[in-house]
């Protein structure tokens, strides 16, 4: 997995020193389902490494990493917070990410720039819905991971059951490197299966750990678990595999090499357990981060594109290469907007200017700093491998690459999910209208999943996001942080449409009124694109033979169809899952033009969709946990909301977990209903699943309301 950078001949002492520094870097994030204990785990890391002198607790609003007022009030993470700490001789850049699906953008952009991650799982619940989402995101960016099974002191905790759920639900290959000593209230510590030592922690200080011999009654099980661990990683180091097959004694060094190789190749996930709240098990994970997660030199060279000639650019992640960094986050701040950067190559200096190939302009770095949640540490220079924040950048936003003008590069930007919910917003005072627009503009810039448009017909501003909580938080920020009182309308679902069936049309855009006219004829076969993984709204196929439509006009037809699809026609609901095959047409030597054929494309889709449209709505994957005696009430209520139950599982402690799918339109203010049904003991989480057809009777009402509004 290591790149050539680690084997490159070192030309001078300065570069050797710099390579040694980068090898001691660990950039990692903490990812998990909401309430699995990510922020508590992060707080313990800060305390154990000496970065914090007091443990901040999530439940009392004192967590260091939850520094926003909204986070402290709600007891959940909304924005990813970055910090830096030291463990042994290593410098760690840690990003604590949100677990709520409404803030999935924070996980997406953090994983894009991180080299590794720690996945936190609840020992009682195992893998939960958002655990699956963040795991898929980490797979997409090829991020090596370590697993920490948290809350081992809770009633119903089961380390091995949680590990098995990782295999079945995440299709991961977790290999336990520790064995728990006791469980639930009797959880005392762990057996280190590499060193074969027992570790127990003091209940009053996270940094007091006792290492001793394995209790006699656990020795046999520990030997068996160790053999299972070696078998799980042997294939990743040939000397270990040979000794294991021959039944010879293996060294700890060989085991460590095999685990590291398996982790870096994404084929193994080292698994640990503990109780972050009780300060147990976090040190093991810190050691594992150092031993098994990659330094910037251990990840493949990053690929980009030269914007001048579209050629591929591959650079090793070294300070000696030309400077390049990726903007992965912006924050609106009264003391100067913050822009977060991951520096891949070269070095950045305070006061210097850097080139943004997207805007073709230079951005000047006013102040350069390293972040500790909401606090800032000034820097003069940042180098390859560093994650830093700067003040002074005006136009760059998430996904932009900054580089030098002499060696420009653009790295692949991030893809973000589409918004699923929207609502109207307006200031309570007419005089605040311009101020509100400016504030929303800043919020849109810092959050790619938050959008705002002004309805041309009503003049009303409409904001869109990933869920009710997402929009509620944005409105609270506008009112509490910016002091602009607002009124909001009822949330609206982001409906879409698709074609009901195939339709072959001939669109004739012909106008003649003196002078040069307009002439374009396009014959197009339209059909719904019913493939399950159809990601694009439009799949356009050019089947023109013999040049009946000149080549230069074909992109104009595609653009016209695409704009008609996105515009949504008379009702304003955008179309999706459409395929269009241009198979014939006509042109005129004088009167044909790009504009004429674009108009023909628009007309073609209008003809195809007229009387041939189906309304689609977003379906959400939902998981509800409730007391067993309330399960019938919960399922009955879900059915009344057009929900479909896929599975019901009994969990320890008299809890039922109900999973299924339900239309988003039926789930507004569901938390209030669930609390009422379960006497405040029920919890739920949702994430977007798919778009499906709306039942005809409901679709008719929605379309009638849309036509009348």
Query: Tens digit of pLDDT for each residue in 183-213?
Result: 888 888 999 999 999 998 876 665 678 899 9
The predicted structure's pLDDT at residue 377: 83
Say which range, 37-46, 396-405, 495-504, 638-647, has the weakest mean pLDDT.
Answer: 37-46
Average pLDDT over residues 684-691: 81
Average pLDDT score over the chain: 84
Average pLDDT over residues 567-576: 78
The predicted structure's pLDDT at residue 47: 82
Q: Is the pLDDT score of 113 beyond 90?
A: no
Q: Is the pLDDT score of 475 beyond 50?
A: yes
The predicted structure's pLDDT at residue 73: 57
Which of 467, 464, 474 lies closest to 332, judged by CA? 474
The predicted structure's pLDDT at residue 679: 76
Say which range, 231-235, 418-422, 666-670, has the weakest mean pLDDT.
Answer: 418-422
The predicted structure's pLDDT at residue 62: 43
The predicted structure's pLDDT at residue 632: 92
- DSSP labels, 208-239: -EEEEPPPHHHHHHHHHHHHHHHHHHGGGSHH
Average pLDDT over residues 278-304: 91
Assess contact for 111 and 141: CB atoms under 8 A: yes
Rounded Cα gap, residues 649 and 659, in angstroms: 9
Task: Tell me the CB-side half-sphere exposure of residue 254, using CA atoms within 13 A.
Answer: 17
Rounded Cα gap, residues 288 and 269, in angstroms: 11
User: Is 158 strand, coil or helix?
Assistant: coil
Say which range, 39-53, 72-86, 145-159, 504-518, has the weakest mean pLDDT.
Answer: 72-86
Rounded Cα gap, residues 110 and 139, in angstroms: 13
Q: Is the pLDDT score of 79 beyond 70?
A: no
> Which residue in the block uniquely carries the two structure tokens 């905790």?
157
Q: Which residues have a Cβ under 8 Å from the Cβ of 552 and sit 6 or more positions away?
A: 594
Quickly count: other Cβ atoms within 10 Å of residue 555's Cβ.
15
Q: Is the pLDDT score of 230 beyond 90?
A: yes
The predicted structure's pLDDT at residue 65: 44
Phi, psi of 685 (to 5 degrees): -140, 145
Rounded Cα gap, residues 457 and 459, in angstroms: 6
The predicted structure's pLDDT at residue 289: 95
Q: Is the pLDDT score of 19 beyond 90?
A: no
**Which residue did the predictor score with more confidence, 497 or 686?**
497
Average pLDDT over residues 245-264: 92
Secondary structure element (H or E) that encloses residue 671, with its range:
helix 670-678
The predicted structure's pLDDT at residue 4: 38
Average pLDDT over residues 234-241: 90
The predicted structure's pLDDT at residue 651: 76
Q: How far is CA 97 from CA 33, 108, 111, 233, in A?
A: 10, 9, 9, 29
Which of 293, 381, 383, 284 lies closest to 94, judged by CA? 293
The predicted structure's pLDDT at residue 278: 82
Rounded Cα gap, residues 200 and 281, in angstroms: 9
Distance, CA of 105 to chain centre:
5
Say which range, 100-109, 359-368, 442-451, 670-679, has the weakest mean pLDDT.
Answer: 100-109
The predicted structure's pLDDT at residue 159: 95
What pLDDT band is residue 17 in, cutting at 50, 70 and 90? Answer: confident
Average pLDDT over residues 511-533: 80
What pLDDT band is residue 26 in, cutting at 50, 70 and 90? Answer: very high
Q: Is the pLDDT score of 564 beyond 50?
A: yes
Residue percentage of the chain with pLDDT more than 70: 89
Task: Tell me the CB-side half-sphere exposure of residue 245, using CA atoms within 13 A.
Answer: 8
Q: Is the pLDDT score of 476 beyond 70?
A: yes
Q: Is the pLDDT score of 457 beyond 80?
A: no
The predicted structure's pLDDT at residue 419: 78
The predicted structure's pLDDT at residue 661: 94
Average pLDDT over residues 48-56: 61
The predicted structure's pLDDT at residue 469: 81
The predicted structure's pLDDT at residue 10: 45
The predicted structure's pLDDT at residue 643: 93
What pLDDT band is residue 219 in, cutting at 50, 70 and 90? Answer: very high
User: Is 614 strand, coil or helix?
Assistant: strand
What pLDDT band is residue 430 in, cutting at 50, 70 and 90? Answer: confident
The predicted structure's pLDDT at residue 162: 94
The predicted structure's pLDDT at residue 301: 85
Average pLDDT over residues 602-621: 90
The dihedral region occupied by 142, where left means phi > 0, alpha psi between -120 and 50, and beta the remainder, is left
Q: Is the pLDDT score of 146 beyond 90?
A: yes
What pLDDT band is residue 274 in, cutting at 50, 70 and 90? Answer: very high
Q: How far is CA 314 from CA 66, 309, 317, 322, in A?
A: 37, 14, 10, 11
Say which range, 145-154, 304-313, 352-361, 650-659, has the weakest mean pLDDT.
Answer: 650-659
The predicted structure's pLDDT at residue 61: 41
The predicted structure's pLDDT at residue 5: 41
**Which residue did the predictor score with more confidence, 420 or 348?**
348
Assess contact for 548 and 586: CB atoms under 8 A: yes
| The token pair that represents 15 in the structure block | 């570069």
Residue percentage of the chain with pLDDT more than 90: 34
Average pLDDT over residues 264-283: 91
Q: Is the pLDDT score of 543 beyond 70?
A: yes
Assess contact for 659 and 647: CB atoms under 8 A: yes
Assess contact for 466 and 103: CB atoms under 8 A: yes
Tell me, what DSSP letter sits at residue 155? T
Q: Is the pLDDT score of 148 beyond 70?
A: yes
Say which range, 171-180, 198-207, 298-307, has the weakest mean pLDDT.
Answer: 198-207
The predicted structure's pLDDT at residue 51: 63
User: Is 181 strand, coil or helix?
Assistant: strand
The predicted structure's pLDDT at residue 2: 37
Rounded Cα gap, residues 178 and 303, in angstroms: 37
What pLDDT band is residue 75 in, cutting at 50, 70 and 90? Answer: low
Quickly count: other Cβ atoms within 10 Å of residue 51's Cβ.
19
Average pLDDT over residues 444-449: 85
The predicted structure's pLDDT at residue 623: 87
The predicted structure's pLDDT at residue 176: 97
């Amino acid at each position: 997995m290591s790149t050539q950078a680690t084997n490159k001949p070192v030309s001078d002492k300065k570069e050797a020193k710099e390579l040694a520094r980068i090898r001691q870097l660990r950039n990692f994030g903490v990812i998990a389902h909401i309430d699995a204990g990510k922020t508590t785990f992060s707080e313990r890391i800060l305390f154990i490494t000496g970065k914090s002198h007091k443990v901040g607790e999530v439940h009392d609003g004192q967590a260091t990493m939850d520094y926003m007022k909204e986070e402290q009030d709600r007891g959940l993470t909304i924005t990813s917070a970055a910090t830096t700490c030291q463990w042994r001789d290593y410098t760690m850049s840690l990003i604590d990410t949100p677990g709520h699906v409404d803030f999935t953008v924070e996980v997406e952009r953090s994983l894009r720039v991180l080299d590794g991650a720690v996945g936190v799982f609840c020992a009682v619940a195992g893998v939960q819905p958002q655990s699956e989402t963040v795991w898929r995101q980490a797979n997409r960016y090829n991020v090596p991971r370590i697993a920490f099974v948290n809350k081992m002191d809770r009633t119903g905790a089961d380390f091995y059951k949680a590990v098995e759920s990782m295999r079945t639900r995440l299709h991961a290959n977790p290999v336990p490197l520790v064995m728990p000593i006791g469980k639930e209230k009797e959880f005392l510590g762990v057996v280190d299966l590499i060193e074969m030592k027992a570790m127990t922690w003091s209940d009053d200080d996270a940094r007091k750990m006792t290492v001793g011999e394995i209790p006699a009654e656990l020795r046999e099980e520990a030997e068996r678990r160790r053999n299972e661990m070696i078998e799980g990683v042997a294939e990743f180091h040939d000397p270990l595999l040979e000794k294991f097959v021959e039944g010879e004694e293996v060294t700890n060094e060989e085991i460590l090499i095999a685990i590291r190789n398996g982790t870096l190749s994404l084929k193994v996930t080292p698994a640990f357990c503990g109780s972050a709240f009780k300060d147990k098990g976090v040190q093991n994970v810190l050691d594992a981060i150092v031993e098994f997660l990659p330094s910037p030199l251990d990840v493949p060279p990053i690929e980009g594109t030269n914007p001048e000639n579209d050629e591929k650019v591959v650079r090793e992640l070294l300070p000696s290469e030309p400077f390049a960094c990726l903007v992965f986050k912006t924050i609106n701040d009264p003391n100067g907007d913050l822009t977060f950067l991951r520096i891949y190559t070269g070095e950045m200096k305070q006061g210097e200017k850097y080139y943004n190939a997207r805007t073709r302009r230079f951005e000047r770095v006013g102040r350069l700093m390293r972040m500790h949640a909401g606090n800032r540490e000034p820097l003069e220079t940042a180098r390859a491998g560093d994650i830093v924040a700067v003040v002074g950048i005006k136009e760059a936003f998430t996904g932009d690459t900054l580089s030098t003008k002499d060696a420009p590069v653009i790295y692949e930007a991030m893809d973000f999910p589409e918004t699923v919910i929207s609502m109207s917003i307006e200031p309570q005072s007419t005089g605040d209208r311009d101020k509100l627009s400016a504030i929303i503009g800043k919020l849109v810039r810092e959050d790619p999943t938050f959008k705002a448009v002004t309805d041309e017909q009503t003049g009303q501003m409409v904001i869109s996001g990933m869920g009710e909580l997402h929009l509620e938080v944005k409105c609270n920020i506008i009112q509490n942080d910016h002091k602009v009182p607002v009124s909001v309308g009822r949330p609206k679902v982001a409906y879409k449409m698709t074609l009901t069936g195939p339709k072959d049309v001939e669109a004739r855009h012909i106008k003649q009124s003196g002078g040069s006219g307009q002439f374009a004829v396009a014959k197009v076969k339209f059909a719904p694109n019913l493939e399950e993984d159809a990601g694009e709204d439009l799949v356009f196929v050019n089947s023109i033979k013999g040049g009946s439509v000149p080549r230069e006009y074909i992109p104009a037809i595609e653009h016209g169809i695409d704009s008609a699809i996105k515009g949504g026609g008379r009702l304003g609901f955008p179309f999706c899952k459409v395929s269009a095959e241009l198979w014939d047409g006509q042109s005129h030597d004088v009167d044909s033009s790009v504009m004429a054929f674009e108009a023909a494309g628009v007309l073609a889709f209008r003809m195809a969709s007229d009387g041939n449209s189906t309304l689609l709505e977003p379906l959400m994957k939902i998981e509800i946990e409730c007391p067993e005696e309330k399960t019938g009430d919960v399922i009955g209520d879900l059915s009344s909301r057009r929900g479909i139950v896929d599975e019901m599982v009994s969990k320890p402690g008299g809890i039922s977990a109900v999973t299924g799918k339900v239309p988003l339109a039926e789930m507004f203010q569901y938390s209030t209903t669930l609390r009422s049904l379960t006497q405040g003991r029920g919890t739920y989480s949702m994430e977007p699943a798919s778009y499906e057809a709306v039942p005809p009777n409901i679709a008719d009402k929605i379309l009638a309301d849309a036509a009348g509004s």
